[in-house]
Amino acid sequence: MTDVYQPPGCYTIPMLPDLILMKKILLFTLYLIPVVLLIGFVANFSVNVPIDDEWRLASLFDKIAAGNVTFNDFWALHSNHRIVFPKIIIAVLAFVSRWNINYQLCLSIGLAVITFIATYKLASMQVKNVGDDLWHLANILTCILLCSLVQHENWLWGFQLAWFLVNLCFVAAVYCLILPKRLLPNIQISMAALFCFIASFSMAQGLLSWLAAIPAVVALEGNAAQKRKRLIVWMLLFVATCAVYSIDYHPSRKTSIISLLNKPLVVIDYFLSLLGSPIVRSPVISALVGLVIFATFLFLAFYFFVIASPAKQSPAPEIASFLAMTDRNDISEQREAIPWLSIGLFAVLSALFITVGRAEFGAIQAIESSRYTTNSILLLIALVQLGQLFVRGKIAAINRNYKLVYRVLAGLLIGIIIVNSGQAIAKSQAAVPYKQGGKDCLELINYLEPSDFFKSSPESCLRVLSKKTWLVREGALILDKIGWRKSAKNVEFVANPGKVYGYFDELQIVYKSLTINPNNARKATGWAVLPETLPQPNIILLSVGDKQSFFANAYVNLDSGDIAKTLKSQVYSNARWAVDFSVNNLPIAQTEIKAWVYNPVDNQFVKLRGDARLKVEEKE
């Protein structure tokens, strides 16, 4: 068979429209993947129950429901923050959904997605060659960072939507200030000021948005006199906001600046660990990574405002360089860098602010608290975008290998994020049974005694909801009164069920000694199941004697392959439970410990077979 002859110069023309369409679909998919994975993560590991600070909002909802709420209720401090706008948002969502926490989680995702759209628009405005592979790589990485699961604590805690709101407001403020010749500068200033005002009264860190936005304010079109006037107006607005913020400001927790100055290494360690926590969560290593991140940001800031500046030297070269750069009408490297320098500056200032308030707890707290990474991630985003501008700018003409280095580092960062996401998934998955147990505890709270176990034991299902268990009890009464979450009432106690719901396996016979060993504790173990057609129990409850109330709980989440095999169902593969409790909670007498499982369908407490008879004596 002979080849078909083609005249010289003839060739097959590829279907360019199809290729362009395929590329667009591929890019859209790459942008969408982080968002879809985030939604799946929240859908799988969220539990619809209030946690920690959310319980302090129950009294606000009570006042709203009763019609006697005032502005002061929204203005009141919350852990030294004025969270006026988050309170309003959460209150609206609570009354719309009967306080379904998932509404708040969805809003957090929505705020993060809008933040990404704003950063995408910023990147589009600042780069001439929009759409090349390097540009898309930077923006896909920005999307991955904003949706990163390393922030798992915030994604699964509805109250933390304030962090995402503040980030969005600041990025929106920078976007308003950077808009090229579309609005009058005074309108741009007004819109940006509104966003910074909302941020200021969402979290205390929001006040820093005014300072971080200064580079973008100065970069507005105009002559030197106009720039100075706008800067003065901006600073006056900042001072006025701070003055309003300080009205009746009486923080419950105060930080001694002097004591922090006496521990400079502790402060530096905390600050750097905070910056490095989105990458690695390990003592010392996290601080070293934070140092690299911070040093890189300082280098890029120096490069764009000093090295790459066309301005001549003057008595104040950096200021002259900045003003000269912002007077140019064309898009320069420096102008392209302004929004990302502001965003990076906001992350650095926020980290400093958190450090002042939290450094006394040690760097380990900065590493373990994933909620702080939501601010620190903005610094990584700034570096990703500044790095893209750096390698595509004048430096690219000197050495083209910089682009290759950028791609390699971007790939390394994506790999690190994937590893961190796996760890976040594992932690969140492990926490789910405890949160579900806390949710069950909330439903059964009328039957839980105010025992030392429920108040202070690390195994208390009430302490999963808040370490201030009295706040949970007060909140539960309010939610029951409003009708949002009904607590179990008139529950039948079934001591002799016809079916086997589990066994109380073991309890060591012990004697209580109040004078010699007041923390004497013993372990109780067993297993518990409900009929296969029902959701399996998350907790069992322990009672004393004939009391129809409970002094302790245990989580039903331990491996029980033998039980699943015996009952011929994998539904029962995690049916075992175990708990340590202090015998000091028991009466000094011969008594009997019983274990119960709650059947929500029949509204019954069903006793597990077996019990422990023991004699508790006070010994000298």
What are the tens digits of pLDDT across the range 14-33?
546 777 788 888 888 999 99
pLDDT of residue 316: 45
Residue 585 lies inside a defined structural domain of this protein: yes
Give the mean model confidence (pLDDT) for residues 527-555. 90
Report yes or no on 402 lying in a domain: yes
Same-domain pairing of 411 and 499: no
Identify whether the C-beta of residue 300 lies closer than 8 Å to the C-beta of residue 383.
yes
Close Cβ partners of 578 (under 8 Å, ≥ 6 residues apart) = 523, 524, 525, 526, 554, 558
Can you give the pLDDT at residue 5?
Answer: 46
Quick one: which of 343, 340, 345 has its CA closest to 387? 340
173 pLDDT more than 70: yes
Q: Note whether residue 13 is domain-resident.
A: no
Q: Does 426 share its domain with 439? A: no
Same domain, 380 and 462: no
What pLDDT band is residue 323 in, cutting at 50, 70 and 90? very low
| Mean pLDDT, residues 158-162 taken together | 93
Burial letters 545-577, b for 16+ CB under 10 A, else e: eeeeebbbbbbbbeebeebbeebeeebbbbbbb
> pLDDT value at position 130?
60
Average pLDDT of 461-471?
93
CATH of the domain at 449: 2.60.40.1930
Q: Quote the CA–CA distance of 65 and 67 in Å, as a whole number.
A: 5
Amino acid (one-letter) located at 241: T
The last residue of a domain, from among 430, 461, 490: 430
Asked if 166 contacts 83 with a C-beta cutoff of 8 angstroms, the reply is no
- Using CA atoms, how far residue 231 sits from 227, 511, 545, in Å, is 6, 74, 73
pLDDT in tens, 58-76: 999 999 999 999 999 999 9
Query: Residues 209, 346: contact at Cβ < 8 Å?
Result: yes
Same domain, 418 and 452: no
Q: Which residue has the higher pLDDT, 389 or 360?
A: 389
In this structure, are 426 and 441 located in the same domain? no
Q: What is the pLDDT of residue 582?
A: 77
Residue in 499, 524, 529, 496 with CA at minimum distance from that of residue 510: 524
> Do 292 and 359 belong to one domain?
yes
**What confidence score (pLDDT) does residue 618 get?**
61
Average of per-residue pLDDT across 122-134: 74
Q: Which tokens sit at 540?
A: 């069992």
Q: How many CB atoms lie within 10 A of CB 26?
A: 11
Rounded to an integer, the average pLDDT of 215-235 is: 89
- Give the separation between CA 339 and CA 345, rounded to whole angstroms: 10
Tell me which of 380, 415, 430 is where a domain ends. 430
If asked whether residues 361 and 483 sit together in one domain, one would say no
Among 401, 430, 459, identify where a domain stops.
430
DSSP character string of 185-205: HHHHHHHHHHHHHHHHTT-GG
pLDDT for 344 beyond 90 = yes
Cα–chain center distance at 211: 24
- The average pLDDT across 536-541 equals 94
Q: Could you tell me the residue range of the domain that residue 521 belongs to? A: 435-615
Are the C-beta atoms of residues 45 and 32 closer than 8 Å to each other?
no
More reliable by pLDDT, 320 or 562: 562
In which band, very low, low, confident or very high, does the pLDDT at 322 lie, cut at 50, 70 and 90? very low
Whether residues 415 and 448 share a domain: the answer is no
Beta carbons of 381 and 146 less than 8 angstroms apart: yes
Question: Does residue 62 form part of some domain?
Answer: no
User: In the prediction, which pLDDT does 298 show?
Assistant: 94
- Contacting residues for 492 by C-beta, under 8 A, at least 6 apart: 602, 603, 604, 605
106 occurs within a structural domain: no
* Nearest by Cα to 172 from 151, 146, 154, 198: 198
Most confident region among 280-284, 425-429, 506-510, 568-572 by mean pLDDT: 425-429
314 and 247 fall within a common domain: yes
Structural domain contains residue 55 = no
Give the three-class secondary structure for 502.
strand
Strand, coil or helix: 279: coil
pLDDT at 426: 93
Q: Band of the pLDDT at 220, cuts 50, 70, 90?
A: confident
Residue at 568 is within a domain: yes
Single-letter amino acid, residue 143? C
- Domain-embedded: residue 63: no
Using a pLDDT cut of 90, give the percent of the chain over it.
55
Domain count, the chain: 2
566: left (phi over 0), alpha (psi -120 to 50) or beta: alpha
Whether residue 413 is found in the same domain as residue 517: no
Nearest Cα neighbor of 139 from 167, 112, 120, 126 is: 120
Residues 6+ away with beta carbon under 8 Å from 591: 544, 545, 613, 614, 615, 616
Averaged confidence pLDDT in the chain? 85
The alpha carbons of the chain give a radius of gyration, in whole angstroms, of 30
Q: What pLDDT is stored for residue 349 in this prediction?
A: 95
Query: What is the token pair recorded at 489?
Result: 């009432």
Give the lowest-confidence range in 91-95, 503-507, 534-538: 503-507
Judged against a pLDDT cut of 90, whether residue 305 lies above it is answered with no
Residue from 111, 126, 224 nearest 171 by CA: 111
Note the pLDDT tens digit of each residue in 135-149: 899 999 999 999 999
pLDDT score of 129: 59
Tracing tokens 């050495």 back to the chain, one arrives at 399
* Residue 120: pLDDT band with limits 50, 70, 90: very high
> What pLDDT is attached to residue 335?
81
Residues 348 and 471 both lie in one domain: no
CA angle 391, 410, 351 (to 5 degrees): 95
Residues 532, 609 within the same domain: yes
Of 607 and 507, the structure prediction assigns the larger pLDDT to: 607
Ramachandran assignment for 230, one of left (phi > 0), alpha (psi -120 to 50 degrees), beta (any other): alpha
Contacts of 18 by beta carbon, 8 Å cutoff, 6+ apart: none
